[in-house]
Amino acid sequence: MKINRFLNRTRLASFPLITCLFALFCVSKASGSEKETSFWRLCLKGNYSAAATVGTELGAKIPPYYVLAAVCYQNMGNYYKESLMQHQYSKCAVEISKLADILDIQEETNKDNSQIYFIRGVLAGMYSGSSSETPRYYFEKSIELDGKNPYPLNYLAMVDIAEGRFEDGAANAEKAIELKPDYAPAYVNLAGAYWRMEKKDSAVWVLIECMQRCSSVPDKAYQSLVNIISEEVIVTNYANGQVYMLSVPGITDYDLRSEIIDSLKKNPKNYLELAEFYLGYENTIDPSAFLNAIEPPAELENLYNYLCARVCYLGGNNEGFDELAGGLLRNRWDDYRRLLEIGNIYYEIGHWDDAVEFYEAGFKHVDPIDSWYKLKFVSNIGTCFLQKGEYEKAEEYMLKALKLYPDDVMTLMNLGIVYYKLDDYENSRRMFGKASKCETTPEQDEIIERYLNEKLK
């Protein structure tokens, strides 16, 4: 019986992939509604915070505004909210064939506005054939109208890098940073240009500067830094009473690690998130060095203790893990994504009641629009009750989970097991039948086949 996970772990690539992804951009028909008018007024003025709020509200009725809001969130540095908006849009079956016509209207109405050309450039990069001109044309036109707008400069840097014009890309990214020193994606693109120009040290310190100066940093910045400075190292972990060795990315240049620690202490949030990125690979060595070198400010104490708890778990210190994890609940920590991870750890060690406590605590704080995490919490609570043999409660939660996402294969499989345990073979067969039609892994295929062809035959 498996739980649903939302792992933010990544894998070490052969070289750092440093590009800022083109954000999705699409619009609905110009309906003249007050909120749509408000969104465009705010967006074209560059007031992304207010535009994101309006776009999110509009998305519930006009789904394309979810992706418009996503771009606004990206430009204001709220990268998780950006991903939420794109996830919401991906669930909607929306035609995009009229996007070019809609933007033609916006361009005709706002010919002298830099932002509309920036938007068209992003759209041209995402949807081939949606515009008659290239992204470069639109970004250059946007810059021509407003040379102090950092956003098209950064996107033009991205185009330059993709076309192999690394020096031009570096110059445009530097201009964007000069105009907006806390614009993290521009640092990522500048580092990418330096890396491709074989200026490794420059790329490293641009990324470190990004983490020093920017309040919010995309995962791509952490991933790029990890890729550049890390080598494969062997670590030994003791999680869940097992001893196992792993090959993971780690920092072998200890002088460089000390320099990074000293440099990033000035921004403890990003400092801790870099430690967390290494911890995602189950590397406890580098995160321990980071954690031992800092006294966290009060507002980051929960994040610090969360990371220490994960280090304890991987190191086999279950008592330390329990103490630190319990403190997160006592402090009423509201970081639901990380509370899910603690719940998952308790699930792995077979402490079902503790897992449920963390899943329930996390669920209380889920962003109302975050259906993905709602699914994980509800489904995982049901799986805990399945493990405890409380099948009626397990059924209750899993049915709630399927209302959130009817094709979640893990929930379908686990509910199939619940019905099997309740001797309800017809419904068990129905759940496994539905699961068999979903996208599955080989391991899941094997379980489904075993139930359908052996146990339920």
- The predicted-structure confidence for 200-231, as pLDDT tens digits, reads as follows 999 999 999 999 999 999 999 999 999 999 99
Distance CA 446, CA 350 (A): 24
Question: Where a domain ends, among 170, 200, 228?
Answer: 228
Single-letter residue type at 352: W
389: which residues sit within 8 A by CB, 6+ positions away? 421
Quick one: which of 134, 142, 136, 96 has its CA closest to 116? 142
- 244 three-state secondary structure: strand
Share of the chain above pLDDT 90, in %: 74
Predicted confidence at residue 107, as pLDDT, reads: 82
Cβ–Cβ contacts within 10 Å for residue 105, how many? 12
Distance CA 189, CA 184 (A): 9
Q: Which of 110-114, 124-128, 267-271, 308-312 is the least confident region?
A: 124-128
Predicted confidence at residue 245, as pLDDT, reads: 96
**Pair 222, 252 in one domain:** no
Is 279 within 8 Å of 226 (Cβ atoms)?
no
Look at residue 343 and tell me if it is in a domain.
Answer: no
**Pair 257, 126 in one domain:** no
Does pTM top 0.75 for this prediction? yes
**Pair 164, 75 in one domain:** yes
Distance CA 285, CA 377 (A): 30
**Pair 158, 286 in one domain:** no
Cβ–Cβ contacts within 10 Å for residue 14, how many? 6
Exposure on the CB side of residue 374, measured as CA atoms within 13 A: 14
Exposure on the CB side of residue 17, measured as CA atoms within 13 A: 10
Residue 281: is its pLDDT beyond 80?
yes
Cβ–Cβ contacts within 10 Å for residue 192, how many? 28
Look at residue 106 and tell me if it is in a domain.
Answer: yes
Quick one: which of 264, 134, 398, 266 has its CA closest to 275? 264
Q: Which residue has the higher pLDDT, 80 or 130?
A: 80
Predicted confidence at residue 130, as pLDDT, reads: 66
Look at residue 404 and tell me if it is in a domain.
Answer: no
Distance CA 155, CA 135 (A): 9
Question: Where a domain ends, among 264, 287, 304?
Answer: 304
Distance CA 405, CA 365 (A): 19
Single-letter residue type at 363: F
**What is the DSSP secondary-structure string of 373-411?**
HHHHHHHHHHHHHHHHT-HHHHHHHHHHHHHH-TT-HHH
Q: What are phi and psi of 6, to 5 degrees?
A: -130, 80
Is 376 within 8 Å of 405 (Cβ atoms)?
no
Look at residue 39 and tell me if it is in a domain.
Answer: yes
Residues in the chain: 457
Question: Where a domain ends, among 240, 275, 304?
Answer: 304
Distance CA 454, CA 457 (A): 5
Q: Which domain holds residue 289?
A: 230-304
**Pair 224, 276 in one domain:** no
Look at residue 13 and tell me if it is in a domain.
Answer: no
Single-letter residue type at 380: N
**Pair 150, 182 in one domain:** yes
Q: Place 96 in a pLDDT band, splitting at 50, 70 and 90.
A: low
Helices (H) and strands (E) in the chain, counts: 24, 2
Q: Which of 91-100, 258-267, 309-318 is the least confident region?
A: 91-100
321: which residues sit within 8 A by CB, 6+ positions away? 309, 310, 312, 313, 345
Overall number of domains in the chain: 2
**Pair 44, 189 in one domain:** yes
Look at residue 327 and tell me if it is in a domain.
Answer: no
Q: Which residue has the higher pLDDT, 27 or 303?
A: 303
**Pair 254, 170 in one domain:** no
**Pair 77, 113 in one domain:** yes
First to last CA, the chain: 20
Structure tokens at 324: 């630190």
Predicted confidence at residue 334, as pLDDT, reads: 97
Mean pLDDT of 53-65: 89
Distance CA 336, CA 368 (A): 12
